[in-house]
Amino acid sequence: MRYQENSRMTLESPRKRKNSTTDETPRKRFMVSEGYGPSTSYQDQFSTVRKEKRKMFEQGEPLPAKKIKGLQELVVTKESPSTAIVCPPAPSSSCLIDNSTEKQGLKKRSLKRKAGDFLESQNEKRLKTENNNEERGDYVRAKFREKYVELRKLGEGSYGSVFAGYRVYDELPVAIKHIQKTHDILMPKEKKGKQIPLEVAIMLKLRAKTTRSPGQSAILSILDWSDMGEELIVVMERPMPAEDLFNYIKNHKGRITMNDAKIMIKQLLKTITYLQKAKIFHRDIKPLNILIETRSKVPKLYLIDFGLSCFVKGGHFRIFAGTFCHIPPEFKTQGFYTAGPTTVWQVGLVLYEILHQEQFVTRKYLSNELKINTSLSETCREFLTKCLAIDPKERPTVEDLLHHQWLTEEDTQI
């Protein structure tokens, strides 16, 4: 019986433990002795924290603060005070922002340094170029003084001054024109790629087309030109003795004969024909830009100052270049002007000043403050009226004027 009881108790005991509600398995506890370091399980947990932090840095995003705090507490509470490992606080998002901001600042400072170095090198190049230009200008100026001697001033315009002078080796009288370099001076490219002033390009073309010797054409020939850096110097022939038509009219007031007037106008028309064949538009024909050589009994005319001239390719001009008081009326009414009719208008104003000894002004002429002298011959008045027609379509061509009756009424010596 005892055996049976014992065996019964042995068989029943597992069922009793399984169904027991009071005999529960206690929670698992971790124990660390004070004399030893953290157990292996703690090291695994700490490595987990490190992995999480490394992942956070690699991805550029911080771990949630709650999760980091829980991992830190887990490690610290499972260790003894002497061996506790305190994890550093996780970097906040502000730390990462500051880090990126610092990188951006370094990048900006680097770019500024590079920009500063570039500007410095550009300034050095500019100063070097300016110094080279000054040295080159001094050299060219010295060479120029060896070839030419400059004397008194002959006149002054909007783009420079003209001085009398002579060439050293043969004492040939010359006119030396100083032209200030501005943005208004056009610099066309030659075939070889070299840039030259437009005025020089025009005068060189005229010289190349002129078959007559210097002094025989109605356009002063260019002899030389130099780039001094800040200014250009153009050397031209200078007929002696001579004066501009404006002063010639003043000095010969009332003594310019009709025959001399015809001679001067016919020479002017032939010169304009020559320019038109070369596709050149002077744009500023007036008494101040006409030189009269007075060496012989018959006045010899020269057209000068090609500073506002241009090459003509056809079409209209919408920007006026010339003397404003001589502006053609069509520019005010239509907003443009053309080369042929404008040139004929300027021939008319030159003849008006020769015959009336009075300065021509477009505004005064259109308002009838200036009138053609009725004492002139009918053919002369017709010639002048056609040149100064308000409608440009009613003005004759230069070729028509050369065959006008007023110029062919009697033989004139040209």
**Boundaries of every domain in the chain:** 139-238, 241-414
Tokens in use for 364?
A: 């005064």
pLDDT above 80 for 141: yes
CATH code 1.10.510.10 for 241-414: yes
Q: Which of the residue ranges 68-77, 95-104, 248-257 has the most confident prediction, judged by mean pLDDT? A: 248-257
pLDDT above 50 for 222: yes
Q: How many CB atoms lie within 10 A of CB 356?
A: 16
Concatenating the DSSP letter of every residue in 159-209 gives: SEEEEEEEETTT--EEEEEEEE--TTS---B-TTS-B--HHHHHHHHHHHH
DSSP state of 88: P
CATH superfamily of 139-238: Phosphorylase Kinase; domain 1 (3.30.200.20)
Res 210: pLDDT: 60
Res 314: pLDDT: 80
Tokens in use for 187?
A: 């610099």
pTM above 0.75, yes or no: no
Residue 381's contacts (CB-CB under 8 Å, 6 or more residues apart) are 372, 373, 374
pLDDT, tens digit, 9 for 90 and up, residues 2-13: 444 444 444 444
The answer to which of 87-96, 192-201, 320-329, 340-349 has the lowest mean pLDDT is 87-96
Residue 218: pLDDT band (50, 70, 90) is confident
The answer to which of 131-145, 181-195, 385-399 has the lowest mean pLDDT is 181-195
The answer to which of 27-31, 177-181, 235-239, 322-326 has the lowest mean pLDDT is 27-31
Res 311: pLDDT: 93
Mean pLDDT of all residues in 59-80: 50
Whole-angstrom CA distances from 373 to 76, 158, 352, 353, 384 are 120, 33, 9, 11, 10
> What are the beta bridge partners of residue 173?
166
H-state helical runs in 252-317: 258-277
Residue 351: pLDDT band (50, 70, 90) is very high
Mean pLDDT of all residues in 337-343: 96
Mean pLDDT of the chain: 77
